[in-house]
Amino acid sequence: MLVGFAAQAVDGALGMAYGVISSTVLISFGVPPAAASASVHAAEVFTTAASASSHIAHKNVDWRFLLPLALAGMTGGALGAYVLTSVDGDDIKPFVVGYLAIMGALILYRALRTREIRPIGRRWAAPLGVVGGFCDAVGGGGWGPTVTSTLVGAGKAPRLAIGTVNTAEFFVASAISAAFLTALVTGHWEEAGALRDHGTAVGGLIVGGLLAAPLAGWVTKIFPVKALTWTVGLVVILLASHQAALLFGLL
């Protein structure tokens, strides 16, 4: 519950980190990576619904950007879930870590500049959603770091980027959970039994996340733009560093 609360508080306010924090903790409890990803996304169906409601209430959502982003994210997420239950997802993690490091550095560079830049256009929503959804399913949490970092780094207002990404995440998490469920029912996923052994941990993530989710829209709305940009950039760098340390066996 404590992990779920802390992870959702960070994710709701900054548009990232719930999946990464939660899946890392579950794996440390001995949950296999595919089962951890499925558990986190099952919990996110509930927590992102509450978080999205908060962001909508506080007018943090770019509705024209939301639809193509969510639809593409659902497609990429379903594909990523299939890949994760079929092959070893570790092979693509170096590319994800490298991407996050670059985007984190770009966001910090943007934070240092005072000149406004033209925000990323709507035409980029679909390809960005596919990549973000795929990374999210394979990595157990990559939607926020991938999509939010790209939008903020490309000049979109941090408040709108975070609110839109959080709202779209509900649809992405639902699609990924459905893909995992389909793999389980059809027998495609041989290690699915691990899900039943860790139901209490998943329940704790859900309860803790639901308690923190209503704060998301309010915190994002009142946070100063410059401070929000700096915080997002630093969190992305920390996430990339953590993933790199895991990748090279330093943790």
Do 237 and 108 form a contact (C-beta atoms < 8 A)?
Answer: yes
Q: What is the pLDDT of residue 68?
A: 94
Inform me whether the pLDDT recorded for 223 exceeds 70: yes
**pLDDT (average), residues 70-82:** 90
Q: What is the pLDDT of residue 150?
A: 84
pTM over 0.85: no
Rounded to the nearest integer, the mean pLDDT of the chain is: 80
| Greater model confidence, 43 or 192 | 43
Question: Under 8 Å CB-to-CB from 71, ≥6 apart: which residues?
Answer: 126, 129, 171
Inform me whether the pLDDT recorded for 56 exceeds 90: yes
Inform me whether the pLDDT recorded for 89 exceeds 60: no
DSSP 8-state code for residue 224: -
How many other β-carbons are positioned within 10 Å of the β-carbon of residue 112?
Answer: 10
Inform me whether the pLDDT recorded for 224 exceeds 60: yes
| Greater model confidence, 110 or 205 | 205
Do 3 and 22 form a contact (C-beta atoms < 8 A)?
Answer: yes
The rounded Cα 32 to chain-centroid distance in angstroms is 19
Alpha-carbon dihedral 19, 90, 175, 165, rounded to 10 degrees: 50
Q: State how far the Cα of 158 lies from the Cα of 106, in Å rounded to an integer.
A: 14
Q: What is the pLDDT of residue 204?
A: 84
Do 82 and 25 form a contact (C-beta atoms < 8 A)?
Answer: no
Q: What is the pLDDT of residues 205-218, one digit of tens each?
A: 888 888 888 887 88
| Greater model confidence, 46 or 30 | 46
| Greater model confidence, 139 or 235 | 235
Q: What is the pLDDT of residue 152?
A: 83
Q: What is the pLDDT of residues 44-54, one digit of tens each?
A: 888 889 889 98
Inform me whether the pLDDT recorded for 246 exceeds 80: no
**pLDDT (average), residues 15-33:** 74
Inform me whether the pLDDT recorded for 114 exceeds 80: no
Confidence band of 130 (pLDDT split at 50, 70, 90): very high
SS (H, E, C) 68-129: HHHHHHHHHHHHHHHHHCCCCHHHHHHHHHHHHHHHHHHHHHHHHCCCCCCCCCHHHHHHHH
Q: What is the pLDDT of residue 127?
A: 92
Q: What is the pLDDT of residues 156-195, one digit of tens each?
A: 888 899 899 999 999 998 998 888 888 777 776 666 666 6
DSSP 8-state code for residue 193: G
| Greater model confidence, 207 or 10 | 207
Q: State how far the Cα of 176 lies from the Cα of 143, in Å rounded to an integer.
A: 11
